[in-house]
Amino acid sequence: MKIKAAAIVFVFIGIVAYAAFSAKREFAPAEDLPREAVVYVEFTDLPAFLQLWEKSELRQKYLESENFNSLKRRRLGLKLASRWQEFNEAVGFSLDLETVGGLAEKRAAIGIYDVGKLEFVFIAPVSSEIFTATKFFLNKEQFEEKLLENGTSVFSLDVAADRGRESQKLLFASVKERFVLATSEKLLLQTVNNINGKTNKNRLIDEPSFKSLTENLKPNLVSVWVSQTALNKDYYFKRYWLMPDTNKLKNIRAGIFGISLEEKKVVERRKFLLEKEVNTTKLNPTEMQKMLSFVTSNVSFYRLQTADAKTSVNAIFDCIFDRKIQIAKAEPRNYSPSYSFYDFDDSEERDYEYLDRKFDETIDEAPEDNFKKSKVIEDKSYQSNLQNILQTANPQSVLTLTEPKNLPMPLFAEFRRATVIKTVAPVNQIQLENAVAQAARNRVSLSVSDINLTWKTAGENGLSWRELNLPMLGWEICYAQRGENLIVSNSSNLLRETLAHTEDIQDEKVSAFPIDNLTVIHLKNKNKNFDEIFGKLAGENSNDFFLGNVGSLLETISEIKTIEIEKNINSRYQEEKITFNLEQN
């Protein structure tokens, strides 16, 4: 009996030990790489991934797109192409996908340690047969061979980097059936020491943020970890790699991204470790179902999120005035020669780009500083007024809808928007109408006394709503109160469609768990909604960005039917799930 009990104990200990070992080995390459990486990318099967990319229609479409041509012309694209060519010339062979795929049997990883210098360490478990078949080993006569004290052969080559302004190295070695490729002698030696177990706490796996994010996590087809704290301080990352303002990333300490292939979909999962704790209310699945019943089939974009009075005010002003209220003191902005999708995102707090000082002084009747100051005070007053009105109604969640609409010539196009706000108590309609009318007057360049804005009741097919027309701007503002929901729109047609759609509730797919935010982009109507608009731009000789860059990117992802983004924040972690649903063949 004692023997049997002892056996059970040993089996239990063995299972626990194996589980602990397996968990640690999930990100095994991170045990060998030095600790100070700013980016880490791991492939569970690098050759298979590259083969998948080579055979995909997406690859061919993207390489032929204007979007890719634009990248090649930008400073970032030129720098990457230049550095790649320098490495090719130094080693005497092409570092193409075939070469890279031949460096690994299956698993492989790369750690990037300096974004500006493109310093990295690549590591992949390989047999001696695979190592001797790599193009690096077959061209070892191009390298200088050095022997380390432990008997490891290191092959080193000097590279004239950055068009000869920098001296960089390219080194490779085979260490305990691992192929190691690095651009720094220091990084290579640290990696060799890690593999041989001669260092302590100098492994990427020991980095607290890495350990926190990879705990109980299995690597995907591709897994990417980033030290956001380090990247936020990096000059090259801020100037060339990143488009938006880094201030939005300050509370992110690190993040990990995983991409996996599922049936008829590609799923990306993101997890961020936050510097400061954030607590949020959640969207209940049942309430989500009710709110999503307002989404019509013509809507190309919608976002559902938890809300308070401030969030609701921003949503209303985005909807009816096409932009957020600018309250905060403007900060100096540095414009890069690069394009960004954020430049065309209504949720970004941006206005026109700066032309020159003389232009602004000429076009503004009032002194610039006084004009800005008075505008900020007025906007802040209108925001505060509307926020107080909504506060008494106690907003719980907000749904924003966008429907692109192509208009007949000679007109152009419009983006119809609607905002649905779920409240605990009804909104005071008289106060709401007065607040919106005052805000509308503030956006007209005429004297306030000359503007007569009157709300009227409108209706059709048993549906009714209130609307305010601004013919001098070609605007209309309308809203309806339906039970616990306030619906505001810049289009009476969209408002009518939204109201009518609630009578026939669709079975929308919603998360089975409470989340903070759901965003869905429908691309099935891309040709209808966007191609005709781009065609008009082409006829008017407009900016090539719209004609080629954005249009070609949409064509590249034409196989994608919808993009769904779920976001959930829980204390020190923010998780996002992005699902790309593909067209059924």
Model pLDDT for residues 420-464, shown as the tens digit of each residue: 999 999 999 999 999 998 888 777 655 545 567 889 999 888 899
Q: Could you say which DSSP state residue 537 is in? A: H
Angle value at C-alpha 100, between 211 and 145, nearest 5 degrees:
90
252-264 mean pLDDT: 91
For residue 363, what pLDDT is reported?
A: 36
For residue 366, what pLDDT is reported?
A: 44
Rounded CA gap, 181 and 110, in Å? 9
Model pLDDT for residues 78-134, shown as the tens digit of each residue: 777 777 788 888 888 888 888 899 999 999 999 999 887 889 999 999 999 999 999
H or E element that contains 332? none
Rounded CA gap, 395 and 427, in Å? 10
Determine what percent of the chain is predicted with pLDDT higher than 70: 70
For residue 8, what pLDDT is reported?
A: 40
- More confident site: 196 or 20: 196
Token pair, residue 312, equals 């609701």
467-478 mean pLDDT: 80
For residue 475, what pLDDT is reported?
A: 75
455-460 vs 144-147, strand pairing mode: unpaired
Residue 108 burial (CB count, 10 A): 24
Give me the domain span that covers residue 64: 18-262
Rounded CA gap, 393 and 426, in Å? 6
Could you tell me if residue 162 is left (phi over 0), alpha (psi between -120 and 50 degrees) or otherwise beta?
A: left
Q: Could you say which DSSP state residue 336 is in? A: P
| E strand intervals along 436-526 | 455-460, 463-470, 475-482, 485-489, 517-522
Q: Tokens 């009476």 identify what position?
A: 492
Rounded CA gap, 512 and 464, in Å? 34
Model pLDDT for residues 182-193, shown as the tens digit of each residue: 999 999 999 999
H or E element that contains 422? strand 413-423
- More confident site: 414 or 66: 414
In-domain check, residue 330 = no
Q: Tokens 């005429």 identify what position?
A: 446
Q: Could you say which DSSP state residue 448 is in? A: G
Could you tell me if residue 151 is left (phi over 0), alpha (psi between -120 and 50 degrees) or otherwise beta?
A: left
In-domain check, residue 31 = yes
**Helix 309-321 × helix 368-393 angle, to 10°:** 120
In-domain check, residue 357 = no
Nearest to 254 by CA among 222, 309, 212: 212
For residue 395, what pLDDT is reported?
A: 95
In-domain check, residue 147 = yes
* pLDDT tier for residue 571 given thresholds of 50, 70 and 90: confident
- More confident site: 81 or 335: 81
**For the whole model, what pTM was predicted?**
0.75
- More confident site: 274 or 371: 274
- The domain tally of the chain equals 1
For residue 15, what pLDDT is reported?
A: 37
Look up residue 150 and give its amino acid: N
- More confident site: 148 or 329: 148
Model pLDDT for residues 510-541, shown as the tens digit of each residue: 666 788 899 998 876 655 555 554 454 444 44
In-domain check, residue 362 = no
| E strand intervals along 229-264 | 252-262
- More confident site: 252 or 327: 252
Look up residue 129 and give its amino acid: E
For residue 54, what pLDDT is reported?
A: 84
Q: Tokens 């002084």 identify what position?
A: 361
Q: Tokens 């989404």 identify what position?
A: 295
Nearest to 490 by CA among 477, 472, 471: 477
Contacts of 550 (CB under 8 A, 6+ apart): 67, 341, 344, 534
Rg (CA), the chain: 29
